Amino acid sequence: MKIIKAKDYNAASRMAANIIAAQVILKPDCVLGLATGSTPIGTYESLIERYKNGDLDFSQVSSINLDEYKGLSPENDQSYRYFMNEHLFNHINIDKNRTHVPNGLEPDSEKACGDYNKIINDHGGIDLQLLGLGLNGHIGFNEPADVFEKETHCVDLTQSTIDANSRFFASMDEVPKQAYTMGIKTIMQAKKVVLLATGAGKAEIVKKAFFGDVTPQVPASILQLHSDFVLVGDEEALSLIP
Ligand code: GLP
C-alpha cells in the first residue's frame, strides 16, 4: 500500500487526477473503473480542466462504473449514470457508448448483474479503479458482510448508508434501499486501485480499514492485500493513521 498525503481536498483531488491522467497518457485505450459520491467530484473537475487544456484525450478510453441504485432511471438526477454524465462524461471527449454503469432499470437482479459481469469480462478487466470510501468501510456498494462478495450483485443497503445518502434526496422515502454493485473480486483484479478519502469524517474508517484487520466487516480492508493500491487522502482523513 502506498499512501499519498495531500494538504486538503483540492490537493488530494489533483493528486488522484494526476494518477488517472498518467494512466490515460500511457495507455490511451485503458479501462477506467469509476466511482461516484461527493469525494471524486474534484478529481473529475481536475480531469475536465486538463482535457480542456488539451493535455488529455479520452477518445479511446472505456469506463466501467462501480454501482447504480436499483430502480433509478438514467434520467433521474440521483442516479449514478446521471451523476457521471453531469460530473465528467458531458465535459470530455469520451465516447458515451464506451461508458458503462449497471442498469438500474433492470428489475431482474440476476440479469442485471450477469449482464454487467459480461461487460467487465469482455473488457478484460479494469486497468485503474478509482474508489471512494463509505463511512462503514464500504467500497462501491459492497456493504459490511460475513463474506467478500466476488462479482456484481444486488445489495440491500445498510441503514448507515441509506442515512448517509439521504442528504441527496428530498425525503428519506425516496432513498433507494437496494443497489447493483461490482464485487470485491472484480475490484481486487483491477491492475491498479486508487482510493480517495477526504475530510475528518473519514479519519476513523481510514484507520480501521487500512491499519486494522482484513475482514469483510470492513470491505475496504481487503485493499491492504492488493499489489498496487494507492490511498490518496487529505490531512484530515489521514489524521489518525500511525
Ligand atoms: C456511496 C457510493 C460509494 C462512495 C460512498 C462515499 O455509497 N456508492 O462509491 O464511495 O458513497 O461517498 P462520499 O464520497 O460522498 O463520502
pLDDT in tens, 12-36: 999 999 999 999 999 999 999 999 9
By alpha-carbon position, which residue is closest to atom 12 of ligand 1?
37
User: What is d(CA 121, CA 172) in angstroms, rounded to the nearest whole number?
Assistant: 36
What are residue 20's phi and psi, to 5 degrees? -65, -40
Q: Which domains does the chain have, with CATH numbers?
A: 2-225 (3.40.50.1360)
Ligand 1 pocket mutation pick from 80, 87, 141 by most atoms within 8 angstroms of CB: 141
Distance 42 CA to ligand 1 centre (A): 14
Q: Which atom of ligand 1 is nearest to the CA of 38?
A: 15
Rounded average pLDDT over 203-218: 98
- pLDDT computed for residue 161 by the predictor: 87
Q: How confident is the model at residue 1 (pLDDT cuts 50, 70, 90)?
A: very high
Ligand 1 pocket, residues with Cβ under 6 angstroms: 35-39, 66-67, 132-134, 140-141, 161
By alpha-carbon position, which residue is closest to atom 10 of ligand 1?
132
Contacts (Cβ under 8 Å, ≥6 apart) of 199:
9, 234, 236, 237
Rounded average pLDDT over 171-182: 94
- What does the DSSP assignment read for 109-146? HHHHHHHHHHHHHHTTS-SEEEE---TTS-BTTB-S-S
Extract the C-alpha cell encoding 165.
445518502
Distance 66 CA to ligand 1 centre (A): 10
Q: Which atom of ligand 1 is nearest to the CA of 133?
A: 10
Q: pLDDT tens digits for 95-143?
A: 999 999 999 999 999 999 999 999 999 999 999 999 999 999 999 999 9
- pLDDT computed for residue 94 by the predictor: 98
Question: Which positions are annotated as active-site residues?
Answer: 67, 136, 138, 143
- pLDDT computed for residue 8 by the predictor: 98
Rounded average pLDDT over 74-95: 97
What are residue 226's phi and psi, to 5 degrees? -80, 140
Torsion of CA 82, 174, 205, 201, to 10 degrees: 90
User: What is d(CA 106, CA 111) in angstroms, rounded to the nearest whole number?
Assistant: 8
pTM of the model: 0.96
Check pLDDT > 90 for residue 237: yes
- pLDDT computed for residue 45 by the predictor: 98
- pLDDT computed for residue 242 by the predictor: 84
| Lowest pLDDT segment from 47-61, 141-155, 162-176, 188-202 | 162-176
Distance 40 CA to ligand 1 centre (A): 9
Averaged confidence pLDDT in the chain: 97
Ligand 1 pocket mutation pick from 36, 83, 139 by most atoms within 8 angstroms of CB: 36
Q: pLDDT tens digits for 141-168?
A: 999 999 998 999 999 998 988 998 898 8
